[in-house]
Amino acid sequence: MKSNTPSFSAVVVISLLLCSCSTFKPNPEAIDSSLERKKVKSTDDVTVSMVIPSAKESEKVFGVDLVKKRIQPIWVEVDNRTDTELILMPILIDHDYYAPLEVSYKFRNRWSKSKTRIKDDFFIDMQIPYEIPPDSVASGYVYGRREAGVRYAKAMLVRDEHDPIELPFALQVPGIQADYEQIDFDNLYTEDEFIRIDDPSRLREELIKLPRCTVDKKGKHEGDPLNLVVIGMAEAAGPAFSQRNWDITEEIRWGTIFKTVQAFFIGSRYQFSPVSSLYVFGRKQDLALQKIRSTIHERNHLRLWLTPIVYQGKDVWIGQISRDIGVRFTTKTLVTHKIDPDVDSARLYLAQDLLLTQHLQAIGTVDGVERADRDAPRRNLTGDPYFTDGQRLIVIFSPETVPPDDLHILEWPESGEQE
């Protein structure tokens, strides 16, 4: 009996022909929907803007699914208002970026050289020019590797006989619902609540007065020690943390809880895992960051709260950092991380990590946590013991690169003296 089913080879040929007839319809103007999220930085009559389109936005712009091929286009605009030509260094936006024809090759048309040439020309044209003439604006894309969460990118612009212009960016990749996106930072404090300080000694006094520990939701029991102060977070710390591969945390919802539990039991790496809520100023953390090793069981993680203190125009955050070294079962929460009892070791790790960014203007310590000896430790809310010398690490960020010789060590002069 003769079969009416087409042969496998016939199916393959038909499929290839259909693919060759597919329409390539990119829409470069579709980037406009992304531009409201763009980050903008300026210096020396030069303004640089960057944004990462979502997967859907990218597919509309380019007419093909770049994200499926593990390519993440990064839109860049350089407004050069100087009288000097600038050279953009894309390798500092992504050290392993793709060339335009390399991208095009992934979407080549095996049956039509002319259609392949159209794609080649398109991806070349969409790349940002690396030479930006004086008094001009250039925009386009750097074809980066696909990443999630927040990615670090540095715009370096070189000009003859001058130091290069360096502008670091922390670019959020659409797709992660970060916990801090739920916070209305502009309305956390009224104008009357702000404490504006210029004098270093007054800063020291205010930092010592801050609570020594986090607490539970009702404020009745103490948790982890508040051993960290970050100054200048909004201006410069975001790029610095992302440069050192600190990941944001997702908000707690059923989907993220499931992924966290799954990672707990199979020992996988969920780099955006939510952290439990601890409280300061009557609210849970405003921002949490983490750096996971090979599994979710081992990580450094920190929580931060925006304070009403403003030091020399910079925002001041109080926080806690600890190192998770394993997982244990509890009657309260079923499963929880176990922290390294030596919380000062996590504090030291963070200090070294941030020094490597060369974006610290100053570093030091201040009292405020209260000492807890190894032989008489305090305990956090899940019952883990910890000991500490009672000091808080203070880091003051700069948006500019700070050479090691220019790093200032905070020594807390007497009131009225200048640093």
pLDDT for 175: 80
**Which are the contacts of 2, defined by CB distance < 8 A and separation ≥ 6?**
none
Element (H, E) at 96: none
pLDDT for 298: 66
Spans of all domains in the chain: 25-172, 179-409
pLDDT for 236: 76
Ramachandran class of 250: left when φ > 0, alpha when ψ lies in -120 to 50, beta otherwise:
beta
Report the predicted TM-score, pTM, of the whole model to 2 decimal places: 0.79
The C-alpha atoms of residue 112 and residue 127 are separated, in whole angstroms, by 23
The C-alpha atoms of residue 21 and residue 347 are separated, in whole angstroms, by 59
| Nearest CA-CA partner of 85 in 137, 134, 158 | 134
Per DSSP, the residues of 208-240 read HHS-SEEE-TTS-SEEEE--EEEESIIIIIHHH
Tens digits of per-residue pLDDT, 167-224?
A: 999 999 888 777 777 788 888 999 999 999 999 999 999 999 999 999 999 999 999 9
pLDDT for 238: 85
Per DSSP, the residues of 351-372 read HHHHHTTT-EEEEEEEE-S--B
Handedness of CA 292, 320, 406, 240 (dihedral sign): positive
Tens digits of per-residue pLDDT, 55-85?
A: 999 999 999 999 999 999 999 999 999 999 9
Alpha helices in 32-112 (DSSP H): 55-62, 100-105
Q: Which stretches of the chain score pLDDT less than 70?
A: 1-22, 161, 251-272, 274, 294-298, 325-337, 413-419
Handedness of CA 250, 57, 108, 8 (dihedral sign): positive
- Domain 25-172 maps to which CATH number in 2.40.30, 2.60.40, 1.20.272, 2.10.25? 2.60.40
CA 315 to chain centre: 18
Per DSSP, the residues of 253-322 read -HHHHHHHHHHHHHT---TT------EETTEE-SEEEEEE-SSTTSEEEEEEEEEEEEETTEEEEEEEEE
DSSP 130: S
